[in-house]
Amino acid sequence: MKKKAALFFLLALCIFLLDQITKQLIIHHIGPFDTLRVAPFFNIIYAENTGSAFGMFKSLGNSFFIAVALGALIAVSVLLVRDGENRLLYSLVLGGAAGNLADRIRYGYVVDFLDLHIGSHHWPTFNVADSALTLGILLLLYKTFRDYKKGT
């Protein structure tokens, strides 16, 4: 493994650990029907997500999501080693995917707890892993389209 790639695997591990630690805090300190109001637009709650992003595709089952996540972890790990330019972004995706995969294997669902809302309109509940995954994927897409427009 390339020496620099190891640092980005370490970053992915840190994201994974932050995700798992925050989820354990939620599991042990927030009840299923509790709401901790942090700000007028932000709550901390406890939610069990058996689907994918935004709770979609619940009918596909946990085994499907585990298989997809394992495939993604392998593919992103290979990309992290080979593509030095995007290692930071791949480490975000890798750490996030690993965090949610650990939940699926351990509990059969993903623990979500971050609840953003405006009045009664709530964004789907999410977690640290989702944040890292989303940021990594969006930045990779942005870079891809930007580079495509440049012709590189």
Active site residues: 112, 130
- Beta 35-39 vs 121-122: how paired, if at all? unpaired
Give start and end residues of each alpha helix (H) in 45-127: 62-82, 87-107
Q: Which of 115, 111, 112, 113 is nearest to 39 (CA)?
A: 115
Report which of 125, 113, 103 is spatially closest to residue 54, judged by C-alpha positions: 125
CA dist., res. 58 & res. 49, Å (int) = 8
**Cβ atoms of 30 and 113 closer than 8 Å:** yes
Residue 145: both structure tokens together? 């389209």
